[in-house]
Structure 1
């Protein structure tokens, strides 16, 4: 994978180029860039939604992005604990396990 390609281009650009383009241009180029919410707040919201929906593949990358956007390890741990009560124990435990892997790999 070429380092000059976006993450979306690296992941799916060869099989779904339009999806990669929309991810880059619309999702991250527009939605994530809107000033009404900070990148940090968007990361907390996204991590919460992905946890609740059980989207572990995307959760891993968004936990890393959340850390890059200034969300602390303790805050992410609290998100997983809080969501265990609202999204279900398996969702919270699964997210906590992924968070542990992400922190170990950083």
Structure 2
């Protein structure tokens, strides 16, 4: 297996002063443990996460994870294609919201 870039959370930086336990779980469980498991690459985890966030209509979290996906090697065109594909499985309005969010992130 090739070496994968270690995934690091930023929960403590973002919300640690306000919700310390949630920040701790974000950094220590979600990122330190789950995101760094070797069974899936960070790239694959990013695609799955973006798909779940689009399907759930979670555009606030989607902004972070679109950038994170690019850091993990997913291209903008692949992300747009994934969102387009989701229109037929997650719903047209959620895909339209997802692509509008992606446009904001990618053109900022």
Q: Give the TM-score of the pair, scaled to structure 2.
A: 0.89
Return the offset for 1:39. Answer: 0.2
2:105 maps to: 102
The 5 A counterparts of 1:74-85 are: 74-85=77-88
Flag structure 1 segments of 5+ consecutive residues without an equivalent.
1-5
Residue aligning to 1:57: 60
Greater helix content:
1
CA RMSD, aligned part only? 0.9
User: What's the offset of the Cα at 1:11?
Assistant: 2.0
Aligned counterparts of 1:19 and 1:64: Cα–Cα separation in 2: 21
Which of 39, 52, 56 aligns to 2:42? It is: 39
Report how far residue 99 of structure 1 moved: 0.6
Work out the number of aligned pairs and report it: 100
User: Structure 1 segments of 4 or more deviating over 2 A?
Assistant: none
1 CA distance for matches of 2:31 and 2:77? 26
By how many angstroms is 1:12 displaced? 1.4
Unaligned runs of 5+ in 2: 1-8
